[in-house]
Homo-oligomer: A and B are copies of this chain.
């Protein structure tokens, strides 16, 4: 058994998370969340998205966000940019790193962004060129890597092809997303083996959803395959375990608890992270989607009760 000595967590709560919450929140609360996260030691935060507010109203105001957050040295503040127009918006807002996304499933690509996988990749060419000109790093997402809501099973070789395309285009890292959260540990290992034969493993990241409760087992399986970067969402934002239609981003707190237990370094403060999650949950009026946050809050409640009844 060989595990990485350190792991980088890509915090996607403010973007991927809030985008999928029913309730939209104001810029000040988002700024507070992002500043809380950087103060907790997160070194990579996906802040927002430069897409049309017509498509994703929750992501309006991303330029304001970048202007108002406290940008700490050593922390990467990234934004999603689906095309050159989005990239230009991000650039104007001072963004230094962007992310692009493609699907590993043709059906999902058609339904989600109304074009084929090949067409979606072609659209990135001018964006990648512009990014290169301006010295902006680009991260690539591949969705539906362990299953598609429309097609079902997705062949690992197909994921590998899309990942390889993004890598060849200039993405410095490829995040493999189990969008429907249906993958299990064995499938995760096979996926990494296959994709890892086309893209160096140290350029791959894991992005797991906990919809079927498998996310931490899949992360552990990925660690055993040498993956050192994982996307997660504070408080499980974007997937409320108490609501129908939950999408199920794995909670950053739960990932960190696993990594701490394995003795893997992250430089993140669990207490501060939990506090950041509790604050945004209060704003949203929902309970945390993190098992760890809920378990520890119960412990604290018991201690408080014990103190009060003494």
B261 touches A186 (CB 8 A): yes
Report A87-116 CB contacts with B as 1/0, cut-off 8 Å: 000000000000000000000000000000
Q: Which of A241-268 contact B (CB under 8 A)?
A: 241-242, 244-246, 248, 251, 254, 257-258, 260-263
B185 touches A261 (CB 8 A): yes
Choice from B185, B210, B242, B298 contacting A242 with Cβ under 8 Å: B242
| Copies, count | 2
Q: Is A143 an interface residue (CB 8 A)?
A: no
* Given contacts A298-B246, A301-B244, A292 and B213 within 8 Å (CB-CB): yes
B219 touches A257 (CB 8 A): no
Rounded to whole angstroms, the CA-CA distance of A244 and B294 in the bound complex is 8
Residue of chain B at shortest CB distance from A181:
B295
Rounded to whole angstroms, the CA-CA distance of A254 and B181 in the bound complex is 12
A287: min CB distance to chain B, Å = 8
Between A182, A261, A262, the greatest number of chain B beta carbons within 10 A of the residue's beta carbon is seen for A261
Choice from B184, B248, B258, B291 contacting A211 with Cβ under 8 Å: B291
Q: Which chain B positions have C-beta within 8 A of A187?
A: 261
Rounded to whole angstroms, the CA-CA distance of A183 and B298 in the bound complex is 17
A121: min CB distance to chain B, Å = 29
Choice from B184, B216, B242, B291 contacting A257 with Cβ under 8 Å: B184
Residue of chain B at shortest CB distance from A188:
B261
Rounded to whole angstroms, the CA-CA distance of A100 and B210 in the bound complex is 35
Residue of chain B at shortest CB distance from A221:
B220
Rounded to whole angstroms, the CA-CA distance of A235 and B251 in the bound complex is 21
Size class of the A contact interface (CB-based, 8 Å): 35 or more
A298 touches B185 (CB 8 A): no
A13: min CB distance to chain B, Å = 16
A258 touches B184 (CB 8 A): yes
Report A157-182 CB contacts with B as 1/0, cut-off 8 Å: 00000000000000000000000011
Report A258-291 CB contacts with B as 1/0, cut-off 8 Å: 1011110000000000000000000000000011
A304: min CB distance to chain B, Å = 12
Q: Is A203 an interface residue (CB 8 A)?
A: no
Between A213, A219, A241, A295, the greatest number of chain B beta carbons within 10 A of the residue's beta carbon is seen for A213
Report A219-232 CB contacts with B as 1/0, cut-off 8 Å: 11100100000000
A212 touches B298 (CB 8 A): no
